[in-house]
Amino acid sequence: MPKAFPEEFRRDVVAVARKGESTIVQIAKDFGISPAALHRWLKIADVQDGVVPGVTKEESAELREAKKRIRLLEQEAEVMRRAVAYLSRDVNPKMMYPLVLELAAPQAPVRVPVAVTCRVLGFSRQAFYQWCANPVSDRDWEEAHLVNAALDVHAEEPTFGYRLIHDELVHEQGLVASETRVGRLCSENRILSVIHRRRGTGKKAGPPVHDDHVKRDFTATAPNRLWLTDITEHHTGTGKLYLCAVKDVYSNRIVGYSIDSRMKASLAVNALQAAITQRAPQGTLIHSDRGSQFRSKKYVRLISSAGLRGSMGRVGACADNAAMESFFSLLQKNVLNQKRWETREELRLAIVVWIEKTYHRRRRQRRLGKLTPIEFETINKTTQPVPEISTQTVN
């Protein structure tokens, strides 16, 4: 093995040789080196000092570093190219660890070290090697993907149970999973909907103004054949807030509603007027309980002048308006009991947003073929257009 000489020693020998006072052979002998080594040192020094053209030591090091950086950039670009191609495929769920193995394989067009791929894709080498030691099965990976998707749905709609979460995953996200499987995963991961008891409204029942023409047959073959209406209340930090809603049995859509700080006859009148204004019905049967608001002269007069027909359930028979009660039950657990409402205005806006955004446009119903009320009406619309509804709020 050639003897290594310090850099300072080599510079001194080169300086002596450049003086030209002795021959190369003599200088080499004097310093205990071979003439070939001295010739080589002189050539290197000439390049370093710019005496002759060539690549200096610093330039050579820079060139090596540049090539190393270029190779690293090529590897990173290959990782991104392969990852984009993989993620763009219509295959779910996505598992990135096998891609690390493919890129590190000897036969890969551009071989990429594991450390580089893990860094570019954003996970640790330790996690990758743990997966290599204990690979996750395809089923476990699919279920983890389903759980994450269910958590995303639950975070956006905390009151959704597993059935509605399943509908969202299948119909909106295109995932493939049975309702039973989604239910099991939701149960195992505590992705649950909270159910609350609905408070009573305290409405006073009285003698009927109309007969019961519905008799618990809550079905309709077309829009505006049968409407249901009722009133609910909820406490806030500034007092009670009352909601009267009108629901079309055909699509379960809330076709009119009114919100007020007092439970007066005008509350029911305004809700029904909102529905009449938007739907322009003829001969619609409007069914309610025997609360005083629905027996008021203004309310009865509005029914008559609009060409509607009135219907009332029996005293104390909640089932006579069960379809409307079910809507308020949903409202109770989705909005009213979700938090302590500081003001009436805060709760009023929350109710409006839930009805228009979630209930009408996101909450799929099995009776409607897993469609939302808006989707159901749009698909089954008649020649009569269905406009957007408005609210009437009295302060």
- For every residue of 167-186, which 3-state class applies, written as one string? HHHHHHCCCCCCHHHHHHHH
Q: What average pLDDT is seen over the chain?
A: 82
CATH of 226-394, one of 3.40.190.10, 3.30.930.10, 3.30.420.10, 3.40.50.150: 3.30.420.10
Of the listed ranges 28-32, 46-50, 123-127, the least confidently predicted one is: 46-50
Of the pLDDT bands very low, low, confident and very high (cuts 50, 70, 90), residue 225 is very high
Of the pLDDT bands very low, low, confident and very high (cuts 50, 70, 90), residue 57 is low
pLDDT of residue 48: 75
Of the pLDDT bands very low, low, confident and very high (cuts 50, 70, 90), residue 316 is low
- Inform me whether the pLDDT recorded for 390 exceeds 50: no
Token pair 């809550």: residue: 218
What value does the mean pLDDT take over residues 260-279? 92
What is the SS3 string spanning 220-254? CCCCCCEEEEEEEEEEECCEEEEEEEEEECCCCEE
3-state secondary structure of 116: helix
Helix (H) or strand (E) holding 309: strand 309-312
Of the pLDDT bands very low, low, confident and very high (cuts 50, 70, 90), residue 315 is low
168: nearest Cα among 189, 181, 182: 182
pLDDT of residue 320: 60
Q: Which residues pair with 365 in a beta bridge?
A: 371
What value does the mean pLDDT take over residues 159-175? 84
- Inform me whether the pLDDT recorded for 63 exceeds 50: yes
Structure tokens at 47: 């390049």
Of the pLDDT bands very low, low, confident and very high (cuts 50, 70, 90), residue 287 is very high
- Inform me whether the pLDDT recorded for 395 exceeds 90: no
pLDDT of residue 56: 55
- Inform me whether the pLDDT recorded for 194 exceeds 60: no
All structural domains of the chain with their residue ranges: 7-54, 59-133, 138-188, 226-394
Domain 7-54, CATH: 1.10.10
Residue 5 vs residue 361, higher pLDDT: 361
pLDDT of residue 223: 92
pLDDT of residue 89: 67
The pTM (predicted TM-score) of the whole model is 0.53
What value does the mean pLDDT take over residues 303-314? 89
pLDDT of residue 1: 47
Of the listed ranges 21-25, 252-256, 313-317, 350-354, the least confidently predicted one is: 313-317
pLDDT of residue 95: 66
Of the pLDDT bands very low, low, confident and very high (cuts 50, 70, 90), residue 292 is confident
**31-40, pLDDT tens digit by residue?**
888 889 888 8
Structure tokens at 157: 């709609």
- Inform me whether the pLDDT recorded for 236 exceeds 80: yes
pLDDT of residue 171: 83
Report the side by side order of strands in the sheet with 285-288.
309-312, 285-288, 226-236, 239-248, 253-260, 391-394
What value does the mean pLDDT take over residues 166-183? 86
